[in-house]
Chains A and B, each alone.
Chain A
């Protein structure tokens, strides 16, 4: 019952947060110079007053901004996200078309970063002060400090240009028309570089956070007690140290959800990955308000879901933590 109440309250909060995010973004993108009607007209090579006015009217851009916001919010409550000005088809359709690519990329990056990051963090903590620890710590610092797009470009030069192992861009081999297992393998080959590049930054964070947490937990009384009781080393690490060290990692996971869209804009651009990160980038440059707001909507929903999952994971990782709204 407590858990149900917790979820109900969190969901209500989430709806308010999402509406607030949309309202802020609505105002922000309208504050940027250049409106969609003139851009569309310019893009079509059709700049004349009649064309611009027609588009303004068609998309309700001739109305005051608060009225536009109210209309949009009403639509949003029924999950009606409007049409893309540029592509002239429902933004829901466009976003759903691109979302799987971004989810595949970001979730792969996410799984990679958690497994490798936590693994390296534990490995470093177990051999604290050793050469391995120094190498892992220094390596994570390097990946933490290097910009994602730069790592991506270097990876392309090395693995695509020099070694020829991996395709340099895209999600599949253009013109190959593969099916079944071969098509999946083709996507996997294309996925490898962008997912690892996107995940490296978080590998660095998780490594450092896990290492620090593990070192702290290692000195706790319950660990000493376990050891004194003769619990084997492996079991101490798995059941006592690791479980208690991942709590800060879970906190970062919920934060990662917010950053992941930002990261995917860069990575999707560098690797020509056809996801919503790039969609947001293009929509921004076209002042395609409806499309941009739909991407913000999806990304805020993703953040809310990640946060909910993180709260759940807290209670699972440490039963002492109760779900409280």
Chain B
């Protein structure tokens, strides 16, 4: 019996070590990906949108990254310390880090990036840097940020996209960071360097052998294929040319089919930082949208469960206010809900005095679809049908992306579909859309509806500066209560973003930044 136990133990140990061996990362290999559309630049300091962030995040780094629970993870900063009053952030930088051109990385690069480069190229960083009283570098490996007042969201601008650290030795003295010829030489500190960019075909990144995290990256090469057509992208994955496709690369209704293939996995993780929420903008400046009863009628007229199930192919969660489930400070208890109830919608419109004419039309309005493909087009068509059914005659105004962007940011719409990234903290992700001071010509995520509520402004600005999470939670509960009642926006769904990839690719999504992580840990089975 004793022998049998010993054999069993030995076998178990062997099995465990075998499993460990099987899971040990393999060095080498090429990962094929798709970037869509082709980015105008991969200088992450200059462009922060999806495609540039996807490629640039492998080349450039921030002081930190963010875990799937949005806790900071060391990157160029090895450790940090926040003073008890929440006003001083001290970062100890990683020693022996080199830029891709061999020059050493120091605190001077951090100072240059936050004082000079990023405030010019990125509005969000500029805005948040207004909270900072001073940035100092007591030595080559220490950086101290002193804030004017407590600002708990501060850490969220330090990841690679929001807080891209740029090489001072290359950009110092440059007058225009966007147009300078220095941009032809992309130099970061990240695990991958630029190999070749054949425009219209692919971007090739190669392993940085001098990367500070010894033994990483595991992969030798990353290829970002440029495939302009959505069907072409499906085929690229199906035919084995690429190993992963991100949400938005193909239509949602294609996902289930692609994920069902053998050796393919689907992940919904990796969007914890961005947290996209889809919604219908309603221009409160235009009659009769300014009347709360009208917006309530719109909310009752649209079946949001139908939208999630049938239009977004189940890749979505219901949402009743600006804070979706799972987002920090979400408080479902205070939200006013508007269930699908066309009869109630009609009653509200009647109450407003909007009686149907002979054709059944009470009011005629325009709807601007989000021109991001078939799924969003279907959403607009569904909305038109539902609104027409209660007497709100809706005309779809077709535009391309620049047309949509121009109309929405200038307030030239009645209804418009849109989505926004909530970016980890309400100070960054919520304020932009609801503060009355941030309305037109400030981008599509601004308060384009023209919602003005001084109480909400006050609550949001007060919550920004509360050092204690419990105090912020109380204030944000009030914000959610007010906004879900006032319906400045009709939130349709929390967007669930699928990534479909070959199972042989390991650690593809390991942090809250998902596919915008640096891929140092990604490896491939043979």
A170 to B123, CA, bound (A): 36
| A281 surroundings in chain B (CB, below 8 A) | 228
| B441 surroundings in chain A (CB, below 8 A) | 38, 47, 49, 52
B227 touches A169 (CB 8 A): yes
| A275 surroundings in chain B (CB, below 8 A) | 200
A48 touches B403 (CB 8 A): no
B40 touches A87 (CB 8 A): yes
Assuming the contacts A88-B178, A174-B202, asked whether A43 and B442 have C-beta atoms less than 8 A apart, the reply is: no
| Cβ of B480 under 8 Å from chain A | no
Assuming the contacts A43-B47, A169-B227, asked whether A33 and B200 have C-beta atoms less than 8 A apart, the reply is: no
| Cβ of B330 under 8 Å from chain A | no
B239 touches A47 (CB 8 A): no
A175 to B122, CA, bound (A): 34
| A103 surroundings in chain B (CB, below 8 A) | none
| Cβ of B48 under 8 Å from chain A | yes
| Cβ of A137 under 8 Å from chain B | no
| B12 surroundings in chain A (CB, below 8 A) | none
The distance from the CB of A292 to the nearest CB of chain B, in whole angstroms, is 12
The distance from the CB of A165 to the nearest CB of chain B, in whole angstroms, is 12
A285 to B404, CA, bound (A): 11
A45 touches B124 (CB 8 A): yes
| A94 surroundings in chain B (CB, below 8 A) | 199
User: Which residue of A is nearest B39, CB measured?
Assistant: A43
B235 touches A161 (CB 8 A): yes
A48 touches B407 (CB 8 A): no
| Cβ of A189 under 8 Å from chain B | no
A52 to B183, CA, bound (A): 20
**Surface stretch bound by B, among A140-148, A226-234, A255-263, A264-272:** A264-272
User: Which residue of A is nearest B161, CB measured?
Assistant: A45
The distance from the CB of B254 to the nearest CB of chain A, in whole angstroms, is 14
Assuming the contacts A46-B121, A170-B225, asked whether A274 and B198 have C-beta atoms less than 8 A apart, the reply is: yes
| B47 surroundings in chain A (CB, below 8 A) | 43-45
B225 touches A174 (CB 8 A): yes
| A43 surroundings in chain B (CB, below 8 A) | 40, 47, 49
Cross-chain contact of B123 among A38, A46, A156, A168 (Cβ < 8 A): A46
User: Which residues of chain A from 122 to 170 have any CB-CB distance to chain B below 8 Å in the complex?
Assistant: 153, 156-157, 160-161, 168-170
| Cβ of A287 under 8 Å from chain B | yes
The distance from the CB of A201 to the nearest CB of chain B, in whole angstroms, is 19
B198 touches A175 (CB 8 A): no
User: Which residue of B is nearest A172, CB measured?
Assistant: B201
Assuming the contacts A33-B402, A42-B444, asked whether A274 and B123 have C-beta atoms less than 8 A apart, the reply is: no
A270 touches B232 (CB 8 A): yes
| Cβ of A286 under 8 Å from chain B | yes
B232 touches A98 (CB 8 A): no
A272 touches B232 (CB 8 A): yes
| A274 surroundings in chain B (CB, below 8 A) | 198-201, 226
Chain B residues with a Cβ closer than 8 Å to the other chain, count: 53
User: Which residue of B is nearest A36, CB measured?
Assistant: B402
| Cβ of B185 under 8 Å from chain A | no
User: Which residues of chain A from 56 to 91 have any CB-CB distance to chain B below 8 Å in the complex?
Assistant: 58, 86-88
A44 to B441, CA, bound (A): 15
| Cβ of A195 under 8 Å from chain B | no
A34, A48, A172, A275 — which one has the most chain B CB atoms within 10 A of its CB? Answer: A34
B201 touches A174 (CB 8 A): yes
B409 touches A47 (CB 8 A): yes
User: Which residues of chain B from 32 to 51 have any CB-CB distance to chain A below 8 Å in the complex?
Assistant: 32, 37-38, 40-41, 46-49
Cross-chain contact of B403 among A33, A87, A156, A171 (Cβ < 8 A): A33
B402 touches A174 (CB 8 A): no
A48, A52, A172 — which one has the most chain B CB atoms within 10 A of its CB? Answer: A48
A98 touches B121 (CB 8 A): no
B405 touches A38 (CB 8 A): yes
A34 touches B232 (CB 8 A): no
User: Which residues of chain B from 238 to 258 have any CB-CB distance to chain A below 8 Å in the complex?
Assistant: 238-239, 241
A45 touches B49 (CB 8 A): yes
B229 touches A44 (CB 8 A): no
A169 touches B232 (CB 8 A): yes
The distance from the CB of B122 to the nearest CB of chain A, in whole angstroms, is 6
A34 touches B201 (CB 8 A): no
| Cβ of B291 under 8 Å from chain A | no
B406 touches A175 (CB 8 A): no
Chain A residues touching B, range? 35 or more
A44 touches B121 (CB 8 A): yes
B235 touches A286 (CB 8 A): no
| B122 surroundings in chain A (CB, below 8 A) | 44-46
A282-298 interface bits toward B, Cβ cutoff 8 Å, 1 = contact, 0 = none: 10111100000000000
The distance from the CB of A153 to the nearest CB of chain B, in whole angstroms, is 6
A169 touches B236 (CB 8 A): yes
Assuming the contacts A47-B441, A274-B198, A285-B401, asked whether A175 and B228 have C-beta atoms less than 8 A apart, the reply is: no
| Cβ of A51 under 8 Å from chain B | yes
User: Which residue of A is nearest B180, CB measured?
Assistant: A88
| Cβ of A24 under 8 Å from chain B | no
User: Which residue of B is nearest A94, CB measured?
Assistant: B199
B443 touches A270 (CB 8 A): no
A272 touches B227 (CB 8 A): yes
A88 touches B179 (CB 8 A): yes
| Cβ of B223 under 8 Å from chain A | yes
| Cβ of A279 under 8 Å from chain B | yes
| Cβ of B139 under 8 Å from chain A | no
| Cβ of A278 under 8 Å from chain B | yes
Assuming the contacts A42-B443, A48-B442, A279-B200, asked whether A175 and B402 have C-beta atoms less than 8 A apart, the reply is: no
| Cβ of B30 under 8 Å from chain A | yes
Cross-chain contact of A44 among B48, B200, B446 (Cβ < 8 A): B48
| B178 surroundings in chain A (CB, below 8 A) | 44, 88
| Cβ of A12 under 8 Å from chain B | no
| Cβ of A39 under 8 Å from chain B | yes
| B409 surroundings in chain A (CB, below 8 A) | 38, 42, 47
B402 touches A47 (CB 8 A): no
Assuming the contacts A33-B402, A45-B49, A87-B40, asked whether A98 and B229 have C-beta atoms less than 8 A apart, the reply is: no
Can you name 18 extra interface pairs (CB under 8 A) apart from A45-B49, A282-B37, A285-B401?
A: A39-B406, A42-B443, A44-B46, A44-B47, A46-B122, A46-B123, A87-B40, A88-B183, A101-B200, A161-B239, A168-B235, A169-B235, A171-B201, A174-B201, A174-B241, A274-B226, A282-B38, A282-B228
Nearest first, the 3 closest Cβ-Cβ pairs linking A and B are: A274-B200, A34-B402, A47-B443
20 A-B residue pairings within 8 Å (CB atoms): A33-B402, A33-B403, A39-B405, A43-B47, A45-B122, A47-B441, A47-B442, A48-B123, A98-B199, A156-B232, A160-B239, A161-B238, A168-B232, A169-B227, A172-B201, A175-B223, A269-B228, A272-B228, A274-B198, A278-B200
